[in-house]
A and B are shown apart, each in its own frame.
Chain A
C-alpha cells in the first residue's frame, strides 16, 4: 500500500442543529468501515466548520473529501471536485472549500485534489437527531463513499 494515495475524509457541521450533523455522522460511519477494512492510508477528521489553519493539514494529502450537509436542493447527495478558486467566501466563519484549496497552494505549496460530498438535509432546528430523510441520504452517501475509496485505493 506504499503507493496508495493519502486520503483525508473531513466532515463538518453543528451537531445541535438536526441535519447539520450529517457531515459528522458520515465520518463516524466511515471510521467503523475503515477500521474493519484496514484502510491505513485514509484519515478522518471532524470539525464544526472549515478553518483557515486546515490549509496546512490538507496540503499534506493527495485527496481530501469534504463532507457537509446541503441546504440547497441536491438529490440525496452530490459529489463534485473543487476546481475553480472562486472569489473568497464572505466570512471566515465558514471557510469555503475553494478557499481551502487556494490557501493550501499559496501558503503550503500543497496541491491536493479536493472533493465536496454534500448530503441533503431538511431541517435545522435545535435537535441532536437527524431527520428520517437525512438518515436515508446518509446511507446512500456512505455506500457511495465506500465504493469511491476502494476505487481510489485500487488505482494509486
Chain B
C-alpha cells in the first residue's frame, strides 16, 4: 500500500515545519516535501508605520535572530535618510553595528552547533531521541554544554552593550546608531573575568572546530556522502572577494565555481532575484532570474559563503578555510554536512572580528548619525547567521512605510532544503519494509544543517498546534494526528 510518511514537527529547528514523504506501491520514495504551514502577514502589518519604527518593530519577526532584521532594516533606511548605500555611516556607527552583527553571528552559531547539531554528532543519528538532545549533552558532556551556553551568553551580552537589549534592541537607527561602546564596556569584553572575554571565546571556537574535525575523521564517509547534491551558491562578498557578513556585493557561483552573479550592487536585487509561489507551501521559492525557475535556485548560509568568498580576512579562520577548501581541491563544497564545518569556521572568524573591533578606538567615537537627501526607497542586505537577508522598503512623503518586501535566509534555502529532504528520503527509505525513528531523524539531520528559522521565513509565531496528515497515492487522507 503506497503511503505518505510525515515527520512532524521537525525537531531542533527554529520554528515549525512538516515533512511529507510519498511512497509508491513498491515502497519507493517518489516525492518528498518540506511544508511550511504558517502564513505571512508581517509585511502588511508594518505598512503605514513611520519608517523610524521599523528597525525595532521588524525584530518581532523572531526571537532567535532579531539583530539580523534590526540591522538589515537599518541598512535599508540608511538609504532612505540619505546616508548612502553601505559606506556612508560614520566609522563609529559602522563599527558598532559590525560588533553587534558579529556578536549575533557568534551567539547564533554557538547555539546551533552545541544545541541543535552536537546531539547528533556526539550520540549518533541512530541514538535514542530521549538522549539525542541538549539535555542529553548536558547530562553526558556537562562541560561542553556549559561552554555552549557561555559562548551564547558572551554574544548576547555584547548585543546588549551595542543594541541596548539582548532581544529586540534599539541600537541601530536610520543613518547610524544611538550609542557608542564606552571604554568601560569595551574592557568588560576584552578583559572580562574568565571565561567571558574575547580571547577565551576564540579559544573555545577553535576547540569546537577541533571537536568537529575529530568527529569528521572518524565519520568521514557519513559526512562526505550524506545529502550531497550540486547547487548554486549565493552570498554577499566584500568588493575584494573577502568574506564579509555585514556588507558587500552580491555574488553567486554554480556548483563548479563559475560565477553566475558577478558582484552586483544589491539595491536592485529584484533585477537578479525573482520569487516563485508554489501551491503546497506558504514560503516562496527565490531563484536567479538569468537561470530561470528550474535551474536558478541556490543555497545561502555558511556553506554558500565559504563557496563564494575568495578568502577570510582573519588569520585563524583563514587557515581553517584553506584546509576546508583543500577537501574539494578549491571547488565549491556541495556536501550538506560540511555546513556544520563551515559554520564553525565562521564562528572562529566572528570571534576574531569581535576581538579586533574591541581593540578599535573608533568604537568610542562621538559621531553617531549621518543623514543627507531623503530617498523614497531603500534596500538593506546582510549575511544573517542562516544566510542572505533582504529588507526592501518604500516610504512616502509622510514618512510612512508603503511597501515592504522581506526575503529571509530560510526562504532562499527553501528549494535546497526540499532537495535535501528528497535526496535523503530516497537514500534511507526506498525499499525499506520498516520505517524507523533513526530513518526519520536522518531527514531532519539534513534539514537542521541549514539551521532554518521557519518563524522568520513565514513571519509567524512560535508554539502553535501542528497537524500530521497521511495520504495514499490518490490523495486520500488515511490518518491525521495533531500535536
In the complex where A20-B461, A53-B156, A124-B464 touch, is A91 in contact with B129 (Cβ < 8 A)?
A: no
CB-based contact A52/B115 at 8 Å: yes
Please, what's the 1-or-0 string for B10-29, where 1 marks a CB less than 8 Å from any CB in chain A? 11111110000000000000
A79-B41 Cα distance, complex, nearest whole Å: 33
Within 8 A of A (CB), among B127-151: 129-130, 133-135, 138-139, 142, 145-146, 149
CB-based contact B134/A52 at 8 Å: yes
CB-based contact A93/B63 at 8 Å: yes
A56-B9 Cα distance, complex, nearest whole Å: 28
CB-based contact B111/A52 at 8 Å: yes
B57 within 8 A of A: yes
Q: Which of A2-10, A34-42, A98-106, A133-141 contacts B (4 or more CB under 8 A)?
A: A98-106
CB-based contact B15/A93 at 8 Å: yes
B130 / chain A contacts, CB cutoff of 8 Å: 87
A88 / chain B contacts, CB cutoff of 8 Å: 133-135
Q: Which of A71, A91, A107 contacts B142 (CB 8 A)?
A: A107
CB-based contact A91/B57 at 8 Å: no
Chain A, interface SS category? loop
CB-based contact B63/A91 at 8 Å: no
Please, what's the 1-or-0 string for B154-171, where 1 marks a CB less than 8 Å from any CB in chain A? 001000000000011000
A71-B466 Cα distance, complex, nearest whole Å: 12
A16 / chain B contacts, CB cutoff of 8 Å: 45, 57, 60
A83 within 8 A of B: no
CB-based contact A90/B11 at 8 Å: yes
CB-based contact A71/B455 at 8 Å: no
A103-B133 Cα distance, complex, nearest whole Å: 12
A55-B168 Cα distance, complex, nearest whole Å: 21
In the complex where A14-B461, A106-B142 touch, is A93 in contact with B455 (Cβ < 8 A)?
A: yes
Please, what's the 1-or-0 string for A70-101, where 1 marks a CB less than 8 Å from any CB in chain B? 01000000000000010110111110000100
A102-B138 Cα distance, complex, nearest whole Å: 9
CB-based contact A91/B12 at 8 Å: yes
CB-based contact A47/B63 at 8 Å: yes
> What distance in Å separates the Cβ of A6 from its nearest Cβ neighbour in chain B?
21
B478 within 8 A of A: no
> What distance in Å separates the Cβ of A136 from its nearest Cβ neighbour in chain B?
22
Within 8 A of A (CB), among B265-322: none
- Report which residue of B11, B129, B138, B167 has the largest number of chain A beta carbons within 10 angstroms of its beta carbon: B138
CB-based contact A71/B464 at 8 Å: yes
A58-B152 Cα distance, complex, nearest whole Å: 17
Q: Which of A15, A85, A87, A91 contacts B9 (CB 8 A)?
A: A91
A49 within 8 A of B: yes
CB-based contact A93/B149 at 8 Å: no
The chain B residue with its CB closest to the CB of A15 is: B60
B11 / chain A contacts, CB cutoff of 8 Å: 90-91
B42 within 8 A of A: yes
B465 / chain A contacts, CB cutoff of 8 Å: 71
**How many residues of A are in contact with the other chain, CB < 8 A?**
30
CB-based contact B153/A53 at 8 Å: yes
B133 / chain A contacts, CB cutoff of 8 Å: 87-88
A127 / chain B contacts, CB cutoff of 8 Å: 45
A107-B45 Cα distance, complex, nearest whole Å: 41
CB-based contact A52/B142 at 8 Å: no
B44 / chain A contacts, CB cutoff of 8 Å: 126
CB-based contact B138/A107 at 8 Å: yes
Within 8 A of B (CB), among A55-70: 55-56
In the complex where A16-B57, A55-B149, A106-B135 touch, is A92 in contact with B461 (Cβ < 8 A)?
A: no
B330 within 8 A of A: no
B449 within 8 A of A: no
CB-based contact A91/B16 at 8 Å: yes
CB-based contact A126/B42 at 8 Å: yes
CB-based contact A47/B12 at 8 Å: no
The chain B residue with its CB closest to the CB of A12 is: B63
CB-based contact A52/B152 at 8 Å: yes
B463 within 8 A of A: yes
In the complex where A88-B135, A103-B138 touch, is A126 in contact with B145 (Cβ < 8 A)?
A: no
CB-based contact A14/B135 at 8 Å: no
CB-based contact B134/A49 at 8 Å: no
Please, what's the 1-or-0 string for B455-472, where 1 marks a CB less than 8 Å from any CB in chain A? 100000111110000000
The chain B residue with its CB closest to the CB of A72 is: B465
> What distance in Å separates the Cβ of A23 from its nearest Cβ neighbour in chain B?
12
CB-based contact B462/A49 at 8 Å: yes
Q: Which of B139, B455, B461 contacts A124 (CB 8 A)?
A: B461
B36 / chain A contacts, CB cutoff of 8 Å: none
Q: What are 12 inter-chain pairs, A to B, with CB distance below 8 A?
A: A14-B461, A16-B57, A17-B60, A17-B461, A56-B153, A87-B130, A90-B11, A93-B455, A103-B135, A106-B135, A106-B139, A107-B145
Write the residues of chain A forming the contact surface with B, with a CB cutoff of 8 angstroms. 14-17, 20, 47-49, 52-53, 55-56, 71, 85, 87-88, 90-94, 99, 102-103, 106-107, 124-127
**When A and B form their complex, which 7 residue pairs have the shortest distance between CB atoms, in order from nearest?**
A48-B63, A126-B45, A16-B60, A93-B14, A106-B138, A90-B11, A88-B133
Query: 10 more A-B contacts (CB under 8 A) besides A91-B13, A127-B45?
Result: A16-B45, A48-B60, A48-B63, A52-B152, A71-B464, A91-B12, A99-B134, A102-B135, A107-B142, A124-B461
